[in-house]
Chains A and B, each alone.
Chain A
């Protein structure tokens, strides 16, 4: 161990010496480059995903062609779960539960504009900084810090490859600055082409239950179509809304999506169970939190890559609105 500690101590000095912060504008440019790289590059990588309770090795394959982009994420440990974004749908294979969840892909047309992208407004809610980092994966990197100005949202530290702007490492931290989740690439290859077989599922789903959620029901009215939150955190604005089916319910849910340019919050509002209101539930998966509660005979669920308190407060503020759902007033 002595060898390791001495070696690491020496590298600390080198890191400190390299760390010279640049302007927020430069940080935003790096974020824009990263967003573009993630969307437009062909890549195949292995990374370790770590949360408070475990770490797990995963593989990601991303292919861009003239028909759009395809993506496959596979857990190489334990569960063998797999998610594939095809041209039309998202398939979540859960072999440990013998289930495949199917969700129509919804990034067509105007919905592309709903995806969070770093803009000038970002700096109102996050402090941005960039500095030169120590080599990672043998590559020169820029470290971009995205520090929240309040506790409604998480912060991020990103290690971006200087040449490609691909994130080689990313850490999500809570409002207190404590790491919550990390993605750390151990191998990342940028490729000219990705063969078809690399984006096909490896799971044999024979005999699995296929559950299709979110079937398109745009014409079908939903009893909850005029509901919405009274409060959302500062900076979050309504970017999209849609109706969709959720498992176990024949009536479509209203799905509202809010974004602050970095993080997104979804609110699902659906008719309550015939057996009466259920007690509130909260759950967390990595940096994503969910909170579900019953409000006036409806089940309201907020989900997002934001702190647990944020999804709880947003869900609890949902009420029937007069007229069609509309953007809520700015938060406190």
Chain B
């Protein structure tokens, strides 16, 4: 990625990218995973600012993000447990930024077709980074296992809400490493 592109991304975040360049950069982002990752990293600094007490991104920010990505997260306990107060809907952006992985997305779009009276287009500059959910003992599934999992998901999605269906389908469509995270844990065998 060139310095010029980096400068454009920064300007996009600042809302200072000329209107004529926005569409080009967005299309480039849609094609270029590295560019999206870079954009996500830039955006994370902004997300940190939303945290209570957060004013600047420290020099160690990048390494802390990397550590957060690498660190295994706790799976919810099997029993009933109250949700702790530090939920993301109470402090938007904070947990998100700290647990950041490669993410992603804040994009500005131009109106592609002014004839569409109801077109919803414009600018948006929030970024979201998401926490990892690693599984111990992960191994690659066989094609049959992957296919079977996909079949379960498609069958299940027919009974999901529209919102849930879009989430399930999106996960299924993504070239998702989640499909390879099939774990085998004999200790759970009945």
Q: Which residues of A contact B (CB under 8 A)?
A: 1, 3-5, 7-9, 11-12, 15, 34-35, 38-39, 46, 48-58, 60, 73-79, 81-83, 90, 92, 94, 96-97, 99, 101, 103, 105-107, 111, 114-117, 129, 135-139, 145, 147-152, 155-158, 161, 164, 166-191, 211, 213-214, 239-240, 244, 246-248, 255, 257, 259, 262-264, 266, 268, 277, 279-288, 290, 293-295, 301, 303-305, 307-310, 312-313, 316, 332
Of chain A, the residue at the smallest CB distance from B9 is A4
Taking the nearest CB of chain A, how far is it from the CB of B114, in angstroms? 11
Cα–Cα, bound, A294→B186 (Å): 11
Find out whether the CB atom of B14 lies under 8 angstroms from the CB atom of A3.
Answer: yes
- Between A and B, how many residue pairs show CB distances below 8 Å? 427
Given A35-B161, A76-B30, A286-B176, does the pair A50, B130 have CB atoms closer than 8 Å? yes
Taking the nearest CB of chain B, how far is it from the CB of A133, in angstroms? 10
Find out whether the CB atom of B163 lies under 8 angstroms from the CB atom of A285.
Answer: no
Given A170-B163, A264-B159, does the pair A97, B176 have CB atoms closer than 8 Å? no
Given A79-B175, A138-B121, A279-B189, does the pair A246, B161 have CB atoms closer than 8 Å? no
Cα–Cα, bound, A57→B178 (Å): 17
Find out whether the CB atom of A312 lies under 8 angstroms from the CB atom of B174.
Answer: no
The one of A148, A190, A213, A285 that contacts B83, using a Cβ cutoff of 8 Å: A148
The one of B57, B109, B179, B186 that contacts A186, using a Cβ cutoff of 8 Å: B109
Given A51-B178, A308-B75, does the pair A92, B171 have CB atoms closer than 8 Å? no
Of chain A, the residue at the smallest CB distance from B141 is A283
B53 at the interface (CB under 8 A from A): no
Find out whether the CB atom of A58 lies under 8 angstroms from the CB atom of B133.
Answer: no
Cα–Cα, bound, A75→B33 (Å): 13
Find out whether the CB atom of B120 lies under 8 angstroms from the CB atom of A137.
Answer: yes
Find out whether the CB atom of B166 lies under 8 angstroms from the CB atom of A60.
Answer: yes
Cα–Cα, bound, A150→B76 (Å): 10
Q: Which residues of B contact A (CB under 8 A)?
A: 10-11, 13-16, 26, 30-31, 33, 36-37, 40, 42, 45-46, 49-50, 55-57, 73-84, 86-90, 92, 95-96, 99, 101-107, 109, 112-113, 116, 118-126, 128-133, 135, 141, 143-164, 166-179, 181-186, 188-190
Given A3-B14, A7-B15, A281-B182, does the pair A54, B147 have CB atoms closer than 8 Å? no
Find out whether the CB atom of B145 lies under 8 angstroms from the CB atom of A293.
Answer: no
Find out whether the CB atom of A173 lies under 8 angstroms from the CB atom of B87.
Answer: yes
Kindly list chain A residues whose C-beta atoms are within 8 Å of the C-beta of B80: 150-152, 332
Kindly list chain A residues whose C-beta atoms are within 8 Å of the C-beta of B156: 257, 264, 266, 288, 303-304
The one of B45, B83, B160 that contacts A150, using a Cβ cutoff of 8 Å: B83
**Interface hub of B13, B88, B113 (most chain A Cβ within 10 A):** B88
Taking the nearest CB of chain A, how far is it from the CB of B126, in angstroms? 8
